[in-house]
Amino acid sequence: MSKSIILLALSFFISCNLVHSQDIEEAHPADKGFYIGASLVGTSFQLDAPGLGDETDTGGGLGLEGGYNFNRNFGLFLSLDGSNMSPDNGEDYNLVHFDLGAEGRLGSSGSSFRPFARASLLGMAATIEDDGFEAEISGTGFGLGIGVYYFINSQLAFDLGYTHSWITIDELSIGSVSVEVDENATTGRLGLGFSYHF
C-alpha cells in the first residue's frame, strides 16, 4: 500500500513538473517566425522649404505591419501607415508611409519586455483634395526607430515605438501634371499597437 502511495505521489509530482515546464515554455515569446500587427499612430510632418518657417503639422491614423523574425534578436519588416494631418493653416491632407526595414531586439527567450531598434528605407506621399483640386508630393528616405515589446504570452505582444524619418521630396503632382522638385522633409511617428506572432 505504501509503495502504491509513493508511486502515485511520484507520478503526480512528475506530472506537475511537466505541466509547469510546458506553461513556462508557452509563456516565452516566439523567437522565430512570421508576425502581423496593427497600431494607432500619431504623426508629425515638417517640410524644410524656404518661406515656410518652422511649422510642423500633426495628425493621427492607423498602421499595419508584417514581418519575419529569424531569431530572438533580428528580423525584417514591412509596414504601411496613413494619417489625416491637420495643419494650423490650410486644409487637412493625408500622409502615407511605406517602410521596408530591419529590426534588432534585446532580451532573452524568457523576457516579456523586448526593447528594439530599427532602420528602414521608405516611401512617403502627402495628398490634398479640395473641391475637385488634387495635389500630391512624394519622395523617399530612411527612418530610425526605437521602442519596446511587451509579450503577454508566447504569441501576443503590445508594442510602443517611435520612428523619425528623413525624406527627400522629389515629385509634385497637381492634377495630371507632375514636376520634379528637390526639397527635404522630416516626419515623426509614435505608434501604440499589438502584434501576433505565429
What distance in Å separates the CA atoms of residue 151 and residue 182, rounded to the nearest whole number?
43
Task: Tell me the pLDDT band of 14, cut-offs 50, 70 and 90.
Answer: very low
DSSP state at residue 111: -
Residue 148's beta-bridge partner residues? 115, 160
> Can you give the pLDDT at residue 36?
97
Average pLDDT over residues 12-18: 41
Mean pLDDT value across residues 59-72? 96
Q: How far apart are the C-alpha atoms of 73 and 9, rounded to whole Å? A: 42
Q: What is the mean pLDDT of the chain?
A: 85
Quick one: pLDDT at residue 28?
59
Q: Which domains does the chain have, with CATH numbers?
A: 31-197 (2.40.160.20)
Between these two residues, 1 and 109, which has the higher pLDDT value?
A: 109
Using CB atoms within 10 A of its CB, is residue 15 exposed (0-12), middle (13-18) or buried (19+)?
Answer: exposed
Integer Cα distance of 84 and 61 in angstroms: 6
Predicted confidence at residue 129, as pLDDT, reads 84
The confidence band for 81, taking pLDDT boundaries of 50, 70 and 90, is: very high
The CA distance from 105 to 150, in Å, is 12
Q: How many other CB atoms are there within 10 angstroms of residue 46's CB atom?
A: 16
Helix (H) or strand (E) holding 9: helix 2-27
Kindly tell me if the per-residue pLDDT of 186 is higher than 70. yes
Q: What is the pLDDT of residue 123?
A: 97
